Chain A
Amino acid sequence: MTEVLALLILLTVIAAIITVLTPNLLYSVISLGAVGFLLAIAFMFLAAPDIAIVQIGVEVVSLVILIRATLGRETQMVKVSRTVVGVAFAVAFVAVIGLFGIQVFNEFPVFGMPVMERFSDAPSATYLAQGLEETGAPNIVTAVLLDFRAWDTLGEATVLFCAALGTVAVLRRKARRFPEPGVDEQQEDETP
């Protein structure tokens, strides 16, 4: 069980590294999809089917959008020259974040240990014990998302609404009906 999970996470990390390092944009998008689907399988192994469903769906949609955005679009590779100062900054950032990461890893609970075993007054114990009586919904994840913590879900829905609103406002066709020469290509270059 843990070995399978470790293998999945190892494959995820490898796919993520390929995503960053490959020179071809399409290969990069495909391996990004591999990251998402491996993560969904990992969620299934961790007994979280709700998150796995959302992960697979969002991954499919974002992959389709990214492939539509990359296919048929000429991309230019930009050679970035590395300076000493840049490398020094990168190493310093990685060192600082790694230091914080080690600190955080020391504070982690044992793998698979629920929160209410660590803190006896955790609200999740109440949710699990009285969730069905109070909400009438056997799926405790939905009960938490849409009843106990519905305000968080309202914020999430608002974020999605604002994202769609911003996309439609920025990429609306109205402004494209009065094209000045050269404006269109410039837009194309700037949007990704």
Chain B
Amino acid sequence: MNAPDKPEPGMGMIVRTVTRWLKGPILLFGIYIVMYGHITPGGGFGGGVIIACAFILIMLALGGQSGLGVFSKAAASRFDSVGLLIFLVVGWLGTFWASGYFYANFIDTPQEAWFTLFSGGTIPVLNIALGLKVASALFLVFTVLTALQIGGSQGDSQSRAWPAPTDGGEES
């Protein structure tokens, strides 16, 4: 019934093949939603969730080892922090460098640039920061929760060996 009975990690052949085809387009769709969040519906949060979905799909279908090979836990926690820091720093830049209130939109958009990708001032920057943050946070939560479940209750942590925990790397 469940995946870890099989010798190779992950799910069956059909799921693995389809995942290998689909992981790129899903990731690309998430990045598109993030990048064009100020023009079309979407934005940092929705796009970040879709990017996290792509990595979770890789992790579930191809096994935890290859999923963490693409996007490791330490990288996820670092991207999480970096995304939130960029978000905060843009707000501070609006305060100290530009006109003087928190989250001031200090990059002017000329009228010719409306409805194009490079418009909206700080909004695309904040979108990308938020997408980075949401994607890595959701992936981190998923990784931690499922690692506990697989290692604990089913008792075959050998077949789906998670990488050895680095001391203090992601906790600090």
Q: Which residues of A are in contact with B by a Cβ distance under 8 Å?
A: 49-50, 53-54, 57-58, 60-61, 64-65, 68-69, 71-74, 132, 134-139, 141-143, 145-147, 150-151, 153-154, 156-158, 160-161, 163-164, 167-169, 171-174, 176-177, 184, 187-188, 191
Main secondary structure of the interface of A (DSSP, over half): helix
Q: Which residues of B contact A184 (CB under 8 A)?
A: 152
A-B contacts counted at CB < 8 A amount to 183
Q: Which residues of B contact A164 (CB under 8 A)?
A: 77, 80, 137-138, 140-141
Q: Which residues of A contact B80 (CB under 8 A)?
A: 161, 164
The answer to whether A154 touches B88, judged by C-beta atoms less than 8 angstroms apart, is yes
Given contacts A161-B133, A167-B145, contact A142 B171 (CB under 8 A): no
Q: Which residues of B contact A137 (CB under 8 A)?
A: 38-39, 119-121, 123
The answer to whether B41 touches A138, judged by C-beta atoms less than 8 angstroms apart, is no
Q: Which of B46, B140, B142 contacts A57 (CB 8 A)?
A: B46
Which one of B8-16, B17-25, B49-57 is at the A interface? B49-57
User: How near does chain A come to B101, taking the closest CB pair, in angstroms?
Assistant: 10
Given A146-B43, A164-B138, A172-B144: 13 more A-B contacts, CB < 8 Å = A60-B53, A65-B142, A69-B149, A73-B149, A136-B120, A146-B127, A146-B130, A150-B91, A151-B102, A161-B81, A167-B144, A171-B144, A184-B152
Q: Which residues of A contact B144 (CB under 8 A)?
A: 167-168, 171-172
The answer to whether B45 touches A71, judged by C-beta atoms less than 8 angstroms apart, is no
Q: Which of A134, A139, A176 contacts B37 (CB 8 A)?
A: A139
Interface 1/0 per residue, B104-132 and A, CB below 8 Å: 01001100011100011111001100100
Any A CB within 8 A of the CB of B93:
no
Looking at A53, A171, A176, A187, the one whose CB has the most chain B CB atoms below 10 A away is A53
User: How near does chain A come to B40, taking the closest CB pair, in angstroms?
Assistant: 7
Q: What are 19 of the A-B contact pairs (CB < 8 Å)?
A: A53-B41, A69-B146, A72-B1, A136-B119, A136-B120, A139-B41, A142-B43, A146-B126, A146-B127, A147-B103, A150-B103, A153-B87, A154-B87, A157-B83, A160-B133, A161-B137, A168-B77, A173-B151, A173-B165
The answer to whether A65 touches B49, judged by C-beta atoms less than 8 angstroms apart, is no
Given contacts A61-B56, A147-B122, A154-B87, contact A160 B134 (CB under 8 A): yes
**Cα distance A135–B126 when bound, in Å?**
13
Q: Which residues of B contact A57 (CB under 8 A)?
A: 46, 49-50, 52-53
Return the chain A residue nearest B107 by Cβ: A136
Q: Which of A138, A161, A177 contacts B39 (CB 8 A)?
A: A138
**Cα distance A68–B154 when bound, in Å?**
12
Q: Which of B33, B52, B77, B123 contacts A61 (CB 8 A)?
A: B52
**Cα distance A136–B153 when bound, in Å?**
52
Given contacts A64-B56, A158-B84, A168-B77, contact A49 B138 (CB under 8 A): no
Any A CB within 8 A of the CB of B27:
no
8 smallest CB-CB distances across A and B, nearest first, come from A136-B109, A57-B49, A150-B103, A49-B41, A53-B46, A137-B38, A137-B120, A164-B137
The answer to whether B121 touches A136, judged by C-beta atoms less than 8 angstroms apart, is yes
The answer to whether A157 touches B102, judged by C-beta atoms less than 8 angstroms apart, is no
Q: Which residues of B contact A154 (CB under 8 A)?
A: 87-88, 91, 103
User: How near does chain B come to A160, taking the closest CB pair, in angstroms?
Assistant: 5
The answer to whether B145 touches A163, judged by C-beta atoms less than 8 angstroms apart, is no
Q: Which residues of A contact B50 (CB under 8 A)?
A: 53, 57
